[in-house]
Amino acid sequence: MAVSQQKGTDVLDSSLLRTEQRTLLDYWQSLEAGGRIPSRAAVNPLDFPKLLKSIGLIDVVTEIGGDYRFRYRLIGTQINHIHGTDYTDQSVNDAEAGAYELSMAQLCRDTVTSRGPVFSRIRMTYADGRELETDRLVLPMASDGKVIDMLMFSYLFRSENLTFGLKPFRVGDIVHSSESLRLAA
């Protein structure tokens, strides 16, 4: 599988986001106080119930040497249906395959190091010729307001072939992936 990526990261312009992700970004920004990163405890899922199916949480573990590992803590039902599996409790490395795994891990790393929201649009082509475009918004969270220990993410999908679980888009079937856009706050 080949992965291409836009060079550099442009500044996040929320007008480029779809309505659901703009709502989530506005909510996250409303929780920021005095330069502190919102905590998971500050997030009330009842504030955005219609978005829950496309949202997930990723635990961030800082390893000796300063690198990061990421583990899916929770994944919305629509994401599970699209991929045909539930990646809850798997590390990003275990859950994804090949170059796509590297892309997702890098998106998480970029969010941690930038200490702000990161948006990515990626198009994947599957072995059977289907294509899936995914808008990915990743938001940092910190229990103490400083050290990022969790990421909240939203995946929104576009495809002419969405069948919601009847024929899933399995990560292992990706033959080509290209990131057309990456933006950071």
Q: What is the CATH classification number for the domain harbouring 30? A: 3.30.450.20
CB 70 within 8 A of CB 105: yes
pLDDT on residue 2:
34
Q: Which of 55-59, 142-146, 167-171 has the lowest mean pLDDT?
A: 167-171
Query: Which domain does 40 fall in, by range?
Result: 2-184
Closest-CA residue to 153 (of 185, 124, 119, 103): 119
In the chain, DSSP assigns E strands to: 2-5, 10-11, 55-62, 68-75, 118-126, 131-141, 150-158, 174-184
Closest CA to 6 of 133, 180, 184, 176: 180
Give the total number of structural domains in the chain. 1
Judging by DSSP bridges, how do beta strands 118-126 and 174-184 pair with one another?
antiparallel
CA dihedral sign of residues 69, 74, 80, 85: positive
User: Is a pLDDT exceeding 80 seen at residue 172?
Assistant: no
Q: Tens of pLDDT along 84-124?
A: 888 888 888 665 556 667 788 889 999 999 999 999 888 88
pTM of the complete model: 0.84
